[in-house]
Amino acid sequence: MKVVLLVGGRGSRMSADAAPLPKVLHEIGPFPILWHLMRGFLHAGHSEFVLCLGWGGDEIVRHFAERPAYLDADVLLEHDGASVRQTVLGGAPPPWRMVFARTGLEATKVQRLLAIRQYLGDETFLCTYGDGLADINVERLLAFHRAHGKAATLTAVRARSQYGHVALTEEGAVTGLEEKPALPGWVNGGFFVLEPRAFEYLRPDDDELETESFARLSAAGELMAYRHTGFWACMDTNKDNLALNALWATGQAPWKTW
């Protein structure tokens, strides 16, 4: 099953540099977050990816072209003056196949999806953002989607507050403190499953995939939510990146399902 990755955003909140790195190339440990995301799908048996490129697309392509082994193995480099040959020693690079689709610098997520329709055929496909990690069981997600028979499934997750919460009496007495508790309700965590007919509900002039296209699917009774109660995190800021790196450094990265 093909996996569509929406990786065309600027990610301007991740860096104060004049030419910030594409968000999906910010590293967690020695690997970019995009590698972590793809490695999880590969572990679940899905090795074909369509990357919807936009801002920083050249850097994303270059990264994959220049680091095919991704530090999974020792690599021998041989330079003959005209070209460089890479040989993986004692291992192999991840066996994935990637389409790098130039979907436009300022395109919306809807426009990016419409632009890569030709690469998906008439099959169910997975789709997600490039900055979210989870310990989601992809096979259970797919089983849920197949069971309900609708055109689309999104993964609903429980977000956590970035602040500590204080419980107070009317008089101001503190009766409890909780550090970064789970917020009430559910939020869209990405990790979608879409049928080809879901494209019937996407319009090129939709500004937002979630509030317009998905709202159209919902109104037609064609959208369901898979509840994921495990780990989920979005790398939206540098602070988020530091937190994910801390989990990786201590060997406690919940999204590392491989």
Q: Would you say residue 154 lies in a domain?
A: yes
* Averaged confidence pLDDT in the chain: 89
Give the pLDDT score at 178: 79
Q: Residue 166 and residue 239: Cα distance in Å, rounded? A: 23
Q: Would you say residue 256 lies in a domain?
A: no
Go through the chain and tell me how many residues it has: 258
Q: Would you say residue 51 lies in a domain?
A: yes
Give the pLDDT score at 179: 76
Residue 34 domain boundaries: 2-249
Tokens of 35: 């590698």
Which residues have a Cβ under 8 Å from the Cβ of 145 and sit 6 or more positions away? Answer: 124, 153, 193, 224, 226
Indicate whether 23 pLDDT > 60.
yes
Q: Would you say residue 175 lies in a domain?
A: yes
Q: Is 136 helix (H, G, I), strand (E, B) or coil?
A: coil
Give the pLDDT score at 13: 63
**Total domain count, the chain:** 1
Cα–Cα distance list, 109 to 126, 129, 135, 149, 212 (Å): 15, 10, 24, 24, 11
Share of the chain above pLDDT 70, in %: 91
Indicate whether 8 pLDDT > 60.
yes
User: Which of the residue ranges 169-173, 200-204, 217-221 would you say has the lowest mean pLDDT?
Assistant: 169-173
Cα–Cα distance list, 46 to 2, 96, 178 (Å): 7, 8, 39
Give the pLDDT score at 29: 93
Which residues have a Cβ under 8 Å from the Cβ of 75 and sit 6 or more positions away? Answer: 69, 86, 87, 88, 89
Tokens 């041989």: give the residue.
78
Q: Would you say residue 255 lies in a domain?
A: no
Element (H, E) at 82: none
Q: What is the CATH number of the domain that holds 49?
A: 3.90.550.10
Q: What is the DSSP letter of 182?
A: B
Q: Would you say residue 258 lies in a domain?
A: no
Give the pLDDT score at 97: 92
pLDDT, tens only, 64-113: 887 755 555 677 778 887 777 777 776 666 788 999 999 999 999 999 99
Q: Would you say residue 257 lies in a domain?
A: no
Give the pLDDT score at 185: 86
157-167 b/e (C-beta count within 10 Å ≥ 16 → b): bbbeeeeeeee
Q: Residue 219 and residue 62: Cα distance in Å, rounded? A: 41
Tokens 């989990």: give the residue.
247
Give the pLDDT score at 146: 98
Please compute the mean of the pLDDT values over residues 218-227 and round it to a whole number.
98
Compare 87 and 244 and report the one with higher pLDDT: 244
Q: Would you say residue 176 lies in a domain?
A: yes
